[in-house]
């Protein structure tokens, strides 16, 4: 692996969507590929259906801050569309936003006090950041793979397509984290996410 570039990831979503497992795997993939890695996440009250964010950093020598600064993420992986907008500012100019095509309607919207923003804002905001926007139908692909809950693994598959690491590194880390009986399902989910991305790599 050419571990000569540092990578900053921010994973966002709604409490309970599986961002923690995805960020764990991402950290382990970085370690397996020879990077120094740090990962940071939020627990507790914020998880009760609130917005959540995990930060993962890979560096060829040494990661200092476990947090990614504003405008410093190479890849924003959002499990939910509204959260992609909320955290858009972490993405650097020219970065890539991988966004799950999924709306989790907050109570503020269902109770009628706020309006869920339309998809046109995603296109506009990430274009204004000169960023690539990759929409992934995570739940649909996970369902096709056999379980809707594997959407987080679909999304990891999508991210894997953007990184110059051998696919086997991902398989190995996935196999360590996933119960054996669900391994096949997760392989299919991962592969379908990987195939769903047509862009190759992240622009410098």
Q: Which residues in this chain contact other proteins in the complex, by CB under 8 A?
A: 14-15, 24, 27-28, 31, 36-51, 63-72, 82-83, 85-86, 88-89, 105-117, 121, 124-125, 128-129, 148
Which residues neighbour 113 within 8 Å (Cβ) at sequence distance 6 or greater?
none
Task: Write down the least CB distance from residue 13 to other proteins, Å.
Answer: 10
Burial class (CB in 10 A: 0-12, 13-18, 19+), 44: exposed
Least CB distance to other proteins at residue 66 (A) = 4
Is 125 or 150 the residue whose CB approaches other proteins more closely? Answer: 125
Cα–Cα distances in angstroms (integers) from residue 173 to residues 101, 163, 165, 183, in the given order: 25, 15, 12, 11
The pairing of strands 51-59 and 7-14 is: antiparallel
Closest distance between other proteins and the C-beta of residue 57, in Å? 10
Using the minimum distance from each CB to other proteins, give the nearer residue, 16 or 164: 16
Residues paired with 20 in a beta bridge: none
> For other proteins, which is the closer residue by CB, 22 or 63?
63
Least gap, CB of 36 to other proteins (angstroms): 7
Bridge partners (DSSP) listed for residue 136: 100
138-145 vs 183-195: helix crossing angle, rounded to 10: 140
Shortest spacing between CB 200 and other proteins, in angstroms? 26
Q: Which is nearer to other proteins, 29 or 188 (CB)?
A: 29
Nearer to other proteins, 37 or 191 (CB): 37
Token representation of residue 147: 């379980």
Minimum CB distance to other proteins, residue 62 (Å): 8
Which residues have a Cβ under 8 Å from the Cβ of 10 and sit 6 or more positions away?
Answer: 53, 54, 55, 56, 68, 73, 75, 76, 77, 87, 90, 91
> CB neighbours (10 Å) of residue 69?
11
106/138 with CB nearer other proteins: 106
């Amino acid at each position: 692996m050419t571990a000569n570039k540092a990578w900053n990831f921010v994973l966002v979503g709604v409490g309970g969507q599986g961002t923690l497992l995805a960020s764990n795997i991402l950290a382990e993939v970085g370690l397996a590929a020879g990077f120094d890695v740090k990962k940071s996440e939020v627990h507790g009250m914020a998880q009760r259906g609130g917005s959540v964010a995990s930060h993962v950093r890979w560096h060829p020598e040494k990661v200092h801050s476990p947090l990614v600064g504003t405008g410093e993420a190479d890849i924003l992986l959002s499990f939910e569309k509204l959260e992609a907008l909320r955290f858009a500012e972490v993405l650097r100019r020219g970065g890539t936003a991988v966004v799950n095509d999924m709306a989790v309607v907050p109570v503020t919207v269902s109770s009628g006090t706020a309006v869920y923003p339309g998809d046109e804002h995603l296109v506009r905001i990430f274009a204004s950041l000169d960023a690539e926007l990759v929409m992934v139908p995570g739940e649909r692909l996970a369902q096709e793979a056999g379980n809707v809950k594997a959407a987080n693994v679909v999304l990891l598959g999508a991210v894997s397509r953007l990184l110059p690491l051998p696919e086997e590194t991902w398989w190995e880390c996935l196999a360590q984290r996933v119960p054996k009986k669900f391994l096949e399902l997760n392989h299919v989910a991962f592969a379908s996410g990987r195939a769903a991305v047509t862009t190759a790599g992240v622009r410098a």
